[in-house]
Structure 1
Amino acid sequence: MKRLALLTLPLALAACAKPVHDTDTPPAPAAAAATADATLLGGYHWKLANAVDAQGRRIDALFVRAERPVQLDFSDGRISVTNTCNRMGGAYTLEGGRLAIPRMASTMMACADPKLMALDREVGMRLESPQALAVQRGDVPQLTLTSASGDALTFNGEATAQTRYGGAGETVFMEVAAQRKPCSHPLIRDMQCLQVRDVHYDERGLKTGTPGPWQPLYQEIEGYEHTDGVRNVLRLKRYDVRNPPADASSVAYVLDMVVESETVREGK
Protein backbone atom coordinates (compact mmCIF):
# COMPACT_ATOMS: atom_id res chain seq x y z
CA MET A 1 0.00 0.00 0.00
CA LYS A 2 1.62 3.25 -1.14
CA ARG A 3 0.76 6.55 0.47
CA LEU A 4 1.14 9.86 -1.28
CA ALA A 5 0.68 13.12 0.60
CA LEU A 6 -0.60 15.64 -1.92
CA LEU A 7 -1.45 18.70 0.16
CA THR A 8 -1.52 19.69 3.78
CA LEU A 9 -4.16 21.59 5.72
CA PRO A 10 -4.10 24.50 5.19
CA LEU A 11 -2.63 24.87 1.70
CA ALA A 12 0.35 27.23 1.70
CA LEU A 13 2.22 28.94 -1.10
CA ALA A 14 5.96 29.38 -0.80
CA ALA A 15 6.93 32.97 -1.63
CA CYS A 16 9.43 33.54 -4.42
CA ALA A 17 11.22 36.85 -4.68
CA LYS A 18 10.84 38.39 -8.11
CA PRO A 19 12.15 41.59 -9.65
CA VAL A 20 10.06 44.72 -9.63
CA HIS A 21 8.77 45.55 -13.09
CA ASP A 22 8.34 48.79 -14.95
CA THR A 23 5.44 50.76 -13.47
CA ASP A 24 4.50 52.73 -16.58
CA THR A 25 0.80 53.43 -16.59
CA PRO A 26 -1.14 51.12 -18.94
CA PRO A 27 -3.79 52.55 -21.26
CA ALA A 28 -7.19 53.30 -19.76
CA PRO A 29 -9.88 50.62 -20.15
CA ALA A 30 -12.37 50.84 -23.01
CA ALA A 31 -15.35 53.09 -22.30
CA ALA A 32 -17.82 50.37 -23.34
CA ALA A 33 -16.58 47.97 -20.68
CA ALA A 34 -18.55 47.32 -17.52
CA THR A 35 -17.21 48.66 -14.25
CA ALA A 36 -15.26 45.86 -12.63
CA ASP A 37 -15.38 45.28 -8.89
CA ALA A 38 -14.38 42.50 -6.53
CA THR A 39 -17.84 40.92 -6.62
CA LEU A 40 -17.91 40.72 -10.41
CA LEU A 41 -14.34 39.41 -10.65
CA GLY A 42 -14.90 36.86 -7.88
CA GLY A 43 -18.04 35.47 -9.49
CA TYR A 44 -16.17 33.78 -12.35
CA HIS A 45 -13.20 31.59 -13.21
CA TRP A 46 -11.33 33.59 -15.89
CA LYS A 47 -9.76 31.36 -18.56
CA LEU A 48 -7.28 32.72 -21.07
CA ALA A 49 -8.86 32.78 -24.54
CA ASN A 50 -6.56 35.12 -26.48
CA ALA A 51 -3.31 37.03 -26.02
CA VAL A 52 -1.73 39.39 -28.53
CA ASP A 53 1.08 41.93 -28.46
CA ALA A 54 0.86 45.56 -29.58
CA GLN A 55 1.27 44.48 -33.23
CA GLY A 56 -1.61 41.99 -32.97
CA ARG A 57 0.64 38.93 -32.95
CA ARG A 58 -0.47 35.98 -30.84
CA ILE A 59 1.68 35.41 -27.74
CA ASP A 60 2.23 31.67 -28.20
CA ALA A 61 4.25 31.31 -24.98
CA LEU A 62 1.03 31.72 -22.98
CA PHE A 63 -0.70 28.78 -24.69
CA VAL A 64 1.35 25.75 -23.68
CA ARG A 65 -1.63 23.44 -23.02
CA ALA A 66 -4.68 24.19 -25.14
CA GLU A 67 -6.88 21.89 -23.06
CA ARG A 68 -5.94 23.67 -19.81
CA PRO A 69 -5.74 27.42 -20.40
CA VAL A 70 -4.23 29.72 -17.80
CA GLN A 71 -6.92 30.58 -15.25
CA LEU A 72 -7.33 33.55 -12.90
CA ASP A 73 -9.49 33.55 -9.78
CA PHE A 74 -10.20 36.54 -7.54
CA SER A 75 -11.27 36.14 -3.90
CA ASP A 76 -10.99 38.23 -0.73
CA GLY A 77 -8.52 40.68 -2.22
CA ARG A 78 -6.27 37.99 -3.65
CA ILE A 79 -5.67 36.60 -7.12
CA SER A 80 -4.69 32.99 -7.82
CA VAL A 81 -3.26 31.61 -11.05
CA THR A 82 -3.69 27.97 -12.02
CA ASN A 83 -2.99 25.70 -15.01
CA THR A 84 0.59 26.92 -15.05
CA CYS A 85 3.48 24.74 -13.90
CA ASN A 86 3.15 26.07 -10.34
CA ARG A 87 0.23 27.64 -8.53
CA MET A 88 0.79 31.37 -8.15
CA GLY A 89 -1.04 34.05 -6.26
CA GLY A 90 -0.90 37.29 -4.33
CA ALA A 91 -2.78 40.34 -3.11
CA TYR A 92 -4.19 42.71 -5.69
CA THR A 93 -5.70 46.18 -5.81
CA LEU A 94 -8.18 47.51 -8.35
CA GLU A 95 -8.48 51.25 -8.65
CA GLY A 96 -9.63 53.41 -11.53
CA GLY A 97 -9.89 50.40 -13.83
CA ARG A 98 -6.29 49.40 -13.21
CA LEU A 99 -5.10 46.14 -11.67
CA ALA A 100 -1.94 46.08 -9.56
CA ILE A 101 -0.29 42.95 -8.11
CA PRO A 102 2.89 44.02 -6.25
CA ARG A 103 4.38 40.53 -5.92
CA MET A 104 3.11 36.98 -6.32
CA ALA A 105 4.00 33.86 -4.37
CA SER A 106 4.48 30.47 -6.01
CA THR A 107 4.80 26.82 -5.21
CA MET A 108 8.22 25.37 -6.04
CA MET A 109 7.47 22.36 -8.22
CA ALA A 110 9.72 21.61 -11.20
CA CYS A 111 8.02 20.57 -14.45
CA ALA A 112 9.70 18.35 -17.04
CA ASP A 113 8.37 20.38 -19.98
CA PRO A 114 10.58 23.49 -20.37
CA LYS A 115 7.72 25.34 -22.10
CA LEU A 116 5.54 24.74 -19.05
CA MET A 117 8.29 26.00 -16.76
CA ALA A 118 8.64 29.09 -18.95
CA LEU A 119 4.88 29.66 -18.74
CA ASP A 120 5.23 30.61 -15.06
CA ARG A 121 7.76 33.28 -15.96
CA GLU A 122 5.68 34.63 -18.84
CA VAL A 123 2.52 34.87 -16.75
CA GLY A 124 4.27 36.30 -13.68
CA MET A 125 6.12 38.92 -15.72
CA ARG A 126 2.86 40.24 -17.16
CA LEU A 127 0.65 40.09 -14.08
CA GLU A 128 3.23 41.81 -11.88
CA SER A 129 3.23 44.78 -14.24
CA PRO A 130 0.35 47.28 -13.91
CA GLN A 131 -2.55 46.36 -16.17
CA ALA A 132 -5.62 48.20 -17.41
CA LEU A 133 -8.58 45.98 -16.64
CA ALA A 134 -11.88 45.94 -18.51
CA VAL A 135 -14.85 43.57 -18.35
CA GLN A 136 -17.44 43.04 -21.07
CA ARG A 137 -20.69 41.57 -19.81
CA GLY A 138 -22.70 39.03 -21.79
CA ASP A 139 -23.63 35.36 -21.90
CA VAL A 140 -19.89 34.72 -21.68
CA PRO A 141 -18.31 37.72 -19.92
CA GLN A 142 -14.80 38.70 -20.97
CA LEU A 143 -11.98 40.17 -18.93
CA THR A 144 -9.20 42.00 -20.79
CA LEU A 145 -5.86 43.00 -19.25
CA THR A 146 -3.80 45.49 -21.24
CA SER A 147 -0.20 46.35 -20.35
CA ALA A 148 1.66 49.61 -20.90
CA SER A 149 3.51 47.96 -23.81
CA GLY A 150 0.22 47.07 -25.53
CA ASP A 151 0.00 43.34 -24.73
CA ALA A 152 -3.70 42.40 -24.41
CA LEU A 153 -4.79 39.25 -22.59
CA THR A 154 -8.45 38.25 -22.93
CA PHE A 155 -10.10 35.80 -20.54
CA ASN A 156 -13.54 34.19 -20.83
CA GLY A 157 -15.58 34.02 -17.64
CA GLU A 158 -17.02 30.73 -16.39
CA ALA A 159 -19.41 31.14 -13.46
CA THR A 160 -18.12 29.76 -10.16
CA ALA A 161 -20.14 27.20 -8.24
CA GLN A 162 -21.08 29.90 -5.74
CA THR A 163 -22.47 32.02 -8.56
CA ARG A 164 -24.29 29.11 -10.19
CA TYR A 165 -25.85 27.83 -6.97
CA GLY A 166 -26.49 31.21 -5.38
CA GLY A 167 -24.67 30.77 -2.09
CA ALA A 168 -21.35 30.22 -0.34
CA GLY A 169 -21.91 26.50 0.21
CA GLU A 170 -20.84 24.39 3.16
CA THR A 171 -17.36 22.90 3.56
CA VAL A 172 -17.43 19.12 4.13
CA PHE A 173 -14.87 16.31 3.96
CA MET A 174 -15.56 13.05 2.19
CA GLU A 175 -13.51 9.88 1.80
CA VAL A 176 -13.82 8.17 -1.58
CA ALA A 177 -13.08 4.43 -1.72
CA ALA A 178 -10.58 3.07 -4.24
CA GLN A 179 -13.19 1.23 -6.32
CA ARG A 180 -16.61 2.05 -7.65
CA LYS A 181 -19.33 -0.54 -7.04
CA PRO A 182 -22.59 -1.45 -8.80
CA CYS A 183 -25.57 0.55 -7.56
CA SER A 184 -29.24 0.61 -8.49
CA HIS A 185 -30.58 3.55 -10.47
CA PRO A 186 -34.05 3.66 -12.09
CA LEU A 187 -32.80 5.39 -15.25
CA ILE A 188 -29.20 4.18 -15.65
CA ARG A 189 -28.50 0.51 -16.29
CA ASP A 190 -25.40 -1.08 -14.77
CA MET A 191 -24.53 2.10 -12.89
CA GLN A 192 -21.25 2.15 -10.98
CA CYS A 193 -21.25 4.50 -7.99
CA LEU A 194 -18.46 6.06 -6.01
CA GLN A 195 -18.37 4.67 -2.49
CA VAL A 196 -18.07 7.49 0.04
CA ARG A 197 -18.21 8.24 3.73
CA ASP A 198 -18.03 11.40 5.82
CA VAL A 199 -14.86 12.32 7.70
CA HIS A 200 -14.27 15.17 10.13
CA TYR A 201 -11.34 17.39 11.08
CA ASP A 202 -10.76 19.74 13.99
CA GLU A 203 -9.46 23.31 13.77
CA ARG A 204 -5.86 22.00 13.74
CA GLY A 205 -6.50 19.83 10.70
CA LEU A 206 -6.52 16.55 12.64
CA LYS A 207 -9.09 13.82 12.01
CA THR A 208 -11.68 13.45 14.74
CA GLY A 209 -14.25 10.80 15.57
CA THR A 210 -15.03 7.70 13.54
CA PRO A 211 -15.77 7.94 9.80
CA GLY A 212 -19.38 7.31 8.83
CA PRO A 213 -20.49 4.15 7.00
CA TRP A 214 -19.63 3.58 3.34
CA GLN A 215 -22.52 4.36 1.02
CA PRO A 216 -23.01 4.84 -2.73
CA LEU A 217 -22.97 8.35 -4.14
CA TYR A 218 -25.54 8.54 -6.94
CA GLN A 219 -23.92 11.55 -8.60
CA GLU A 220 -20.51 12.82 -9.63
CA ILE A 221 -18.37 15.34 -7.79
CA GLU A 222 -17.71 18.44 -9.88
CA GLY A 223 -14.00 18.84 -10.63
CA TYR A 224 -13.07 15.35 -9.39
CA GLU A 225 -11.78 12.58 -11.66
CA HIS A 226 -11.68 9.20 -9.95
CA THR A 227 -8.88 6.73 -10.64
CA ASP A 228 -9.62 3.07 -9.86
CA GLY A 229 -7.35 1.78 -7.14
CA VAL A 230 -6.81 5.17 -5.50
CA ARG A 231 -8.52 6.16 -2.28
CA ASN A 232 -8.90 9.89 -1.67
CA VAL A 233 -10.01 12.20 1.09
CA LEU A 234 -11.57 15.31 -0.44
CA ARG A 235 -12.46 18.73 0.86
CA LEU A 236 -15.70 19.69 -0.85
CA LYS A 237 -18.19 22.50 -1.08
CA ARG A 238 -21.76 21.29 -0.72
CA TYR A 239 -24.47 23.43 -2.31
CA ASP A 240 -28.24 23.26 -2.22
CA VAL A 241 -29.70 22.92 -5.73
CA ARG A 242 -32.81 24.95 -6.31
CA ASN A 243 -35.63 23.17 -8.14
CA PRO A 244 -33.65 20.09 -9.22
CA PRO A 245 -35.14 17.73 -11.83
CA ALA A 246 -37.19 14.86 -10.42
CA ASP A 247 -34.39 12.33 -10.98
CA ALA A 248 -31.55 14.59 -9.73
CA SER A 249 -30.08 15.32 -6.33
CA SER A 250 -31.05 18.37 -4.30
CA VAL A 251 -27.38 18.94 -3.39
CA ALA A 252 -24.23 19.37 -5.47
CA TYR A 253 -20.65 18.57 -4.45
CA VAL A 254 -17.75 20.58 -5.87
CA LEU A 255 -14.11 19.63 -5.31
CA ASP A 256 -12.15 22.18 -3.30
CA MET A 257 -8.98 20.22 -2.52
CA VAL A 258 -7.56 16.68 -2.39
CA VAL A 259 -6.44 16.32 1.22
CA GLU A 260 -5.09 12.77 1.17
CA SER A 261 -4.45 10.15 -1.50
CA GLU A 262 -3.49 6.48 -1.23
CA THR A 263 -2.92 3.74 -3.79
CA VAL A 264 -4.64 0.55 -2.57
CA ARG A 265 -3.73 -2.96 -3.74
CA GLU A 266 -6.59 -5.26 -4.68
CA GLY A 267 -7.96 -7.18 -1.75
CA LYS A 268 -7.07 -4.43 0.73
Structure 2
Amino acid sequence: MNYLIRLVSVCLLLLISACDKNDLEPETITMRVAEQYKDCTGVGPQKCLWVKMEDNPTWTLHYSGIEGFAYEEGFEYTLTVKRERVENPPMDGSSIRYILVKVVEKTKK
Protein backbone atom coordinates (compact mmCIF):
# COMPACT_ATOMS: atom_id res chain seq x y z
CA MET A 1 0.00 0.00 0.00
CA ASN A 2 2.82 2.38 0.92
CA TYR A 3 4.51 1.58 -2.40
CA LEU A 4 1.32 2.42 -4.32
CA ILE A 5 0.97 5.79 -2.59
CA ARG A 6 4.58 6.66 -3.42
CA LEU A 7 4.14 5.60 -7.03
CA VAL A 8 0.98 7.70 -7.45
CA SER A 9 2.70 10.67 -5.75
CA VAL A 10 5.68 10.47 -8.10
CA CYS A 11 3.38 10.24 -11.13
CA LEU A 12 1.40 13.29 -9.97
CA LEU A 13 4.60 15.28 -9.41
CA LEU A 14 5.81 14.40 -12.90
CA LEU A 15 2.50 15.47 -14.44
CA ILE A 16 2.48 18.76 -12.56
CA SER A 17 6.09 19.56 -13.43
CA ALA A 18 5.44 18.78 -17.11
CA CYS A 19 2.93 21.62 -17.33
CA ASP A 20 4.82 24.66 -18.62
CA LYS A 21 3.16 27.69 -17.09
CA ASN A 22 5.69 30.13 -18.57
CA ASP A 23 4.37 29.85 -22.11
CA LEU A 24 1.27 31.81 -21.07
CA GLU A 25 3.17 34.43 -19.09
CA PRO A 26 3.27 37.88 -20.73
CA GLU A 27 6.72 39.29 -21.37
CA THR A 28 8.00 42.73 -22.29
CA ILE A 29 10.33 42.89 -25.30
CA THR A 30 11.96 45.49 -27.54
CA MET A 31 10.90 45.55 -31.17
CA ARG A 32 12.21 47.57 -34.12
CA VAL A 33 9.75 48.48 -36.87
CA ALA A 34 11.06 49.41 -40.34
CA GLU A 35 10.03 52.58 -42.17
CA GLN A 36 7.90 50.84 -44.82
CA TYR A 37 5.23 48.18 -45.01
CA LYS A 38 6.12 44.98 -46.87
CA ASP A 39 3.84 43.04 -49.19
CA CYS A 40 2.76 39.75 -47.65
CA THR A 41 0.07 37.14 -48.03
CA GLY A 42 -2.17 35.96 -45.22
CA VAL A 43 -5.74 35.05 -46.08
CA GLY A 44 -5.11 37.27 -49.12
CA PRO A 45 -2.59 39.90 -50.23
CA GLN A 46 -1.95 42.51 -47.56
CA LYS A 47 0.65 44.89 -46.12
CA CYS A 48 2.67 43.77 -43.09
CA LEU A 49 5.01 45.52 -40.72
CA TRP A 50 8.68 44.61 -41.18
CA VAL A 51 10.01 43.99 -37.66
CA LYS A 52 13.05 42.81 -35.78
CA MET A 53 12.53 41.48 -32.25
CA GLU A 54 15.22 41.53 -29.57
CA ASP A 55 15.20 37.73 -29.41
CA ASN A 56 15.53 37.31 -33.21
CA PRO A 57 18.27 39.17 -35.15
CA THR A 58 16.54 38.89 -38.55
CA TRP A 59 13.82 41.08 -40.02
CA THR A 60 10.48 39.26 -40.27
CA LEU A 61 6.96 39.99 -41.47
CA HIS A 62 4.54 40.93 -38.69
CA TYR A 63 1.02 39.94 -39.78
CA SER A 64 -0.90 41.03 -36.70
CA GLY A 65 -1.12 44.58 -35.46
CA ILE A 66 0.29 46.09 -32.30
CA GLU A 67 -2.50 47.26 -30.01
CA GLY A 68 -2.19 50.98 -29.24
CA PHE A 69 0.45 51.64 -31.93
CA ALA A 70 -0.27 54.15 -34.72
CA TYR A 71 2.27 53.32 -37.44
CA GLU A 72 3.37 56.10 -39.79
CA GLU A 73 5.31 55.14 -42.93
CA GLY A 74 8.64 56.87 -43.36
CA PHE A 75 9.66 56.45 -39.73
CA GLU A 76 11.64 53.66 -38.10
CA TYR A 77 10.52 52.85 -34.58
CA THR A 78 11.98 51.22 -31.51
CA LEU A 79 9.15 50.01 -29.32
CA THR A 80 8.70 48.36 -25.98
CA VAL A 81 5.80 45.92 -26.32
CA LYS A 82 4.12 43.34 -24.16
CA ARG A 83 3.91 39.95 -25.87
CA GLU A 84 1.29 37.58 -24.53
CA ARG A 85 -0.40 34.40 -25.66
CA VAL A 86 -4.04 34.41 -26.73
CA GLU A 87 -5.72 31.50 -24.96
CA ASN A 88 -8.28 30.58 -27.63
CA PRO A 89 -7.17 32.30 -30.85
CA PRO A 90 -9.38 32.25 -33.93
CA MET A 91 -8.43 29.65 -36.55
CA ASP A 92 -7.12 32.32 -38.91
CA GLY A 93 -5.61 34.57 -36.23
CA SER A 94 -2.38 34.83 -34.32
CA SER A 95 -1.90 33.02 -31.03
CA ILE A 96 0.24 35.93 -29.80
CA ARG A 97 -0.96 39.46 -29.01
CA TYR A 98 1.35 42.49 -29.03
CA ILE A 99 0.47 45.54 -26.93
CA LEU A 100 2.40 48.81 -27.09
CA VAL A 101 4.00 49.79 -23.79
CA LYS A 102 6.17 52.68 -25.01
CA VAL A 103 7.56 54.27 -28.18
CA VAL A 104 11.26 54.44 -27.28
CA GLU A 105 12.43 56.07 -30.51
CA LYS A 106 10.88 57.39 -33.74
CA THR A 107 13.38 58.28 -36.50
CA LYS A 108 12.57 59.84 -39.90
CA LYS A 109 14.02 57.75 -42.76
Task: Settle same-fold status: TM greater than 0.5.
Answer: yes
- Residue 199 (structure 1) shift: 2.7
Q: Which has the higher contact order (CA 8 A, sep 6+)?
A: 2
Q: CA RMSD in A?
A: 1.6
* Equivalent residue pairs, number: 86
CA distance in 2, matches of 1:244, 1:254: 16
Aligned position for 1:230: 75
CA distance in 2, matches of 1:191, 1:212: 24
8 Å CA contact 2:87, 2:95 repeated in 1: yes
CA distance in 2, matches of 1:176, 1:199: 11
Instruction: Using the aligned pairs only, state the percent identity.
Output: 37
Gaps of 5+ in 2: 1-23
For the residue of structure 2 that corresponds to 1:244, the secondary structure is: coil
- Residue 216 (structure 1) shift: 0.4
Structure with larger Rg: 1
Q: Which amino acid aligns with 1:173?
A: T
User: Equivalent residues in 2 for 1:162-177 (5 A)?
Assistant: 169-177=26-34
For the residue of structure 2 that corresponds to 1:183, the secondary structure is: strand
Aligned position for 2:46: 191
Superposed CA offset, 1:192-251 (max 9, x none): 000000137xxxxxxxxxx71111001000000100000000000011100111111111
Q: As a proportion of its length, which structure holds more helix?
A: 2
Gaps of 5+ in 1: 1-166, 201-210
CA distance in 1, matches of 2:75, 2:101: 18
Q: Which amino acid aligns with 1:259?
A: V
1:218 and 2:75 correspond: no
For the residue of structure 1 that corresponds to 2:66, the secondary structure is: coil
Structure 1 residue ranges (4+ consecutive) displaced by more than 2 angstroms after TM superposition: none
With normalisation by structure 2, the TM-score equals 0.73
Q: As a proportion of its length, which structure holds more strand?
A: 2
Q: Which amino acid aligns with 1:172?
A: I
- Residue 168 (structure 1) shift: 6.1
1:180 and 2:37 correspond: yes
Q: Which amino acid aligns with 2:48?
A: C
CA distance in 1, matches of 2:68, 2:58: 24
CA distance in 1, matches of 2:57, 2:74: 21
For the residue of structure 2 that corresponds to 1:259, the secondary structure is: strand
